[in-house]
Structure 1
Amino acid sequence: MEGFDPKTSFGPDVAASYDDALRGDEDETVEFLAGLAGFELALELAIGTGRIALPLSERGIRVDGIELSADMIARLREKPGGENLTVVVGDMATAEAPGPYGLVYLIYNTFHNLQTQDDQVRCFENAARHLTNDGVFVIECELASMRRGRSFVDAERVGTDEVTLDVNRYDAVSQVLDENHVRIGDGGIRMGPISQRLVHPSEMDLMARIAGLRLRHRWSGWREEPFTASSTRHVSVYGRG
């Protein structure tokens, strides 16, 4: 996407409104991750505003984070308990946190925010470096949907006071999806651009092998629903071979 900068894509406006529309799966996400963490330390890559890290830390688990956006970190710090979390400012593919950790996790499609295959491999390698010998790396992503045509628009919300459109352009060669969330309402027009490299689970599994990890489990949701041909997302757990 011309002019796109990942460092500014989650700026002050996005950070301020990021928690306005929660996904509704926060409780089951925390329950799943807490079960894996046990009494070990946890590291969230792209910790954001602490949507998951804060309730997970309330379970008695120490959660550290890595986050590229200073604005998202500032929003996290405003929340109760946010000042107690150790957060490293940096790229999740290269930044170093104290560690080691029994659980490293990267959720909500954020792995796709890394725009090249090399960076995505480096992310797996970075996660592996932060793991204890028996630690696990958890990734949650939506599955890349097959769409006819290079460009498409989805109507996310159509209301009397506001319309939200998802404008997309996909390059099948690079696997990069350029996306802009456009909100049109009484307050004017707001843009939320993001660029992602979409990855299928099979490619992730190969990246994991490069990093010395192997797939242990794959489900279609946080409640460990079976992963099938009709699944729309996956929760994948990797550990050392």
Structure 2
Amino acid sequence: MKNKTVLITGSTSGIGLGIANHFAKEGYNIMFHGLELNGEEIAKKIAEKHHIKAAFSNANLLQPEAIEGLVNETIKTFGHLHVLVNNAGIQYVSPIEDFPNSKYEAIIAINMNAVFYASKAAWKQMKKQKFGRIINVSSVHGIRASEFKSAYVTAKHGVIGMTKVMALEGAPFNITSNAICPGYVKTPLVEGQIKDQAKAHQMTESEVIEKVMLKKQAVKEFVPLEAISDMAILLAKNSSTTITGTSFVLDGGWSAQ
């Protein structure tokens, strides 16, 4: 995979950072993206460790023109763009009647609309080179619902529908489009949620994990970050031409019930 380029949104922490590390090990050049103030430092360290080229952008995914600029910057920096991983996402939990309009609109914009704008911006380059791999990080909430997550569930369902459309339109040009739908992954974001839930429910953190977080999973374990990264690498391969329009659910059996 030497000299191939991947753009990963939200790649300076959590799932995105794990995916980026995996692509770096495989020899991909990487455009990192995120809001962390040390994003350039993160990109530089990973590039030096794995002897790849890397760059960093803090483009605002709430702005379509900034997303287009992020993709164009990637192509200008590396000369091409082979893999796009739409990973960035935000969350807010609230009953519908209390859900702030601004929070709803921001979640739809970043979790769903940004997937469209980034893919649209990458499309011309991928058609030109007759190769493209679009990998959308959705969620088990893209196929299942939970209370108080109206915006998040709506956005993640939308991403799966968009994934299918892009698969159909991309097929003649060797552009594949797939979604990865993980259950809970123990990222810093989720660890923060565990602490908040423990306070709110007056539970221990272990009780929150068992009775709240992993309640719906048959396998009572967090989804390993490596499993998501391995799936992303598989979907990016040259040999994955016929794997397209599919949602890969890594949820410990949650959706089997």
Q: TM-score range by the shorter chain?
A: 0.3 to 0.5
Task: Give the structure with the higher percent helix.
Answer: 2
Q: What TM-score do the two structures reach when normalised by structure 1?
A: 0.46
Task: Give the structure with the higher percent strand.
Answer: 1
Q: What TM-score do the two structures reach when normalised by structure 2?
A: 0.44
